[in-house]
Amino acid sequence: MKKTILTCILFGTWYLAFCQSSENHRAFTEDFSSDSSAFFRYGSTGNKSPFKYSFGAISPTEPETKILSFKIDPAENAGAGKGPEIITKKFTHFGTYATRLKVPDVTAIQPNVGAVVGYFTYHVDSVEGLSEIDFEWLLADPTVIYVGTWTGPPGELRRVGRTINLAEGVIYHTNYRENHTGIREALTGLQNQPETVPAVPGFDASKGFYTYGFDWFSDRIRWWMIHPDSGEKIILWDYQGTTRGIPQHRSKYRMNFWHTKDWSVETNPLSIEPPLHPYELEIDWMSYEPLH
């Protein structure tokens, strides 16, 4: 299942300049069917184990599909970016981002594993600070999805985030916080929409491929998932009503898979163990369509 390549339709002088700049990507879909990518480079800061990634691999769970395969190295140190990671060669900005992926199924093998799949944008500007929008899954409980943003300069980071158990239709929290351990406040009103998310019975990000995405605007970010049966878009969070926490400057589009030793999943405080095996993340495609 491959997504049709999207066409970049441009309106407005500023946007025309942005999209035509040699530093910025136009619309694309990378289907990872060949042994290299025109849009992404490999960017792991960890060890150089060659098995950590492979473009154009055959999916072990969907053999008719070629994928980008990420395997976590049990010998790798903990830390974001240490595991396999891809990064766009150029910048991306406001627009629609989507991917189809399957996270590793490890709960029966290592229920307390500390491992994170990240689908996100990330770039630190020397003047404006961090621009990050993310989806994250912790392998110890793949029914839980984390979405949110990080903005601000180093040492003064701000997070808006929502944590959802999609199998149960439970929103654990929707909040704002400063740095990793600073002030926290629950978000309400337009910043807490929808206030409920319907359960997707049987949802488990490790049991099959799902399509996820987000729409990034200057005054709004909307995270969503495609329902596996109806094909309808499930809105996970539609954050609006303020620009606090919404990145304004361009970023780089990324995917990674890494070991965390201090972030346990919402439902299992013990889940910080180093991975024992080279668990495999399967990525079918990633797309980007700039804002029209």
Residue 239 inside a domain? The answer is: yes
pLDDT score for 292: 72
DSSP 3-state helix, strand, coil percentages of the chain (rounded to 5)?
Answer: 5, 45, 50
Residue 283 inside a domain? The answer is: yes
**Which letter does DSSP use for residue 53 in this model?**
E
Domain that holds residue 56: 28-290
pLDDT in tens, 100-139: 999 999 999 999 999 999 999 999 999 999 999 999 999 9
Residue 177: give its domain's CATH number: 2.60.120.200
Residue in this structure with the two tokens 């098995």, named with its chain if needed: 51
Average pLDDT, integer, range 269-278: 98
Average pLDDT, integer, range 193-197: 98
The fraction of the chain above a pLDDT of 90, given in percent, is 89
pLDDT in tens, 89-104: 999 999 999 999 999 9
Overall domain count for the chain: 1
Residue 15 inside a domain? The answer is: no
Residue 21 binned pLDDT confidence (cut-offs 50, 70, 90): low
Residue 206 inside a domain? The answer is: yes
Q: Name the pTM for this structure.
A: 0.92
List phi, psi (to 5°) of 178. -110, 130
